Chain A
Amino acid sequence: NAGVTQTPKFRVLKTGQSMTLLCAQDMNHEYMYWYRQDPGMGLRLIHYSVGEGTTAKGEVPDGYNVSRLKKQNFLLGLESAAPSQTSVYFCASSYGSLKPQHFGDGTRLSIL
């Protein structure tokens, strides 16, 4: 069982470059989430989606955009990367907010 798959696993960018992180889940979950985790800190919600075609802002949405064109995929975009966006990014999915989330194994992103 693949569960939640994130690509890429690692990436180094230069300031100002753009990139897209892909999250794919095969559990038919309605809800999907993008988090970032910085050293010594908890997970902070960037954006989330409660179904195909829907997205909503989380706690720290600035500098990021998302799309949920297909139920199984949730894309996180950085239009113009900044060093402050250096972090580990986790994607998660769930059947709903009353059900537990399942996480991908993360994308480690460094911006120079």
Chain B
Amino acid sequence: RKEVEQDPGPFNVPEGATVAFNCTYSNSASQSFFWYRQDCRKEPKLLMSVYSSGNEDGRFTAQLNRASQYISLLIRDSKLSDSATYLCVVNYGQNFVFGPGTRLSVLP
């Protein structure tokens, strides 16, 4: 089993749609979880941290399920500017493991 796995994508959705991404991780000792977005040929940028109780930032909601070892990201009311690759990141000891990413295209 890979350390961090994500929905393979790509996801093509119309503007205004709600889209959800899932991520699973293999290390039950992991303690920190993040979602990053990466635009084509750019550096990854932090979208949001993921907390045990779940957290929301505007149109974005992140959830963590420790028992099942998965995290999710929900994007409501998708905008054209949300088109990017979304990376799930999990800490393994002193470093981080990145998932392969899920590409999202929001269509007009």
Contact = CB atoms under 8 A, between A and B. Distances in A.
A58 to B, nearest CB: 7
Interface in A65-112: 88, 90, 97-106
Given A103-B44, A103-B45, A98 B91 contact: yes
Nearest to A56: B94
B95 A102 contact: no
Contact of B94 (A50, A100, A106): A50
A100 B43 contact: no
Interface residues of B, number: 22
B96 A45 contact: yes
A104 B43 contact: yes
B94 A31 contact: yes
Interface string B64-108: 000000000000000000000001010101111111110000000
A19 interface: no
Nearest to A59: B97
B32 interface: yes
Q: Chain A, interface size: which category?
A: 20 to 34
Contacts of A35: 98
B42 interface: yes
A2 interface: no
6 contacts: A43-B87, A50-B94, A56-B94, A98-B91, A103-B45, A106-B43
Interface of A: 31, 33, 35, 41-43, 45, 48, 50, 56, 58, 88, 90, 97-106
Interface of B: 31-32, 34, 41-46, 49, 87, 89, 91, 93-101
Given A88-B41, A97-B32, A97-B96, 17 more contacts: A33-B96, A42-B101, A43-B44, A43-B98, A45-B97, A50-B94, A90-B43, A97-B31, A97-B95, A98-B91, A99-B32, A100-B49, A101-B46, A101-B96, A103-B43, A104-B43, A105-B43
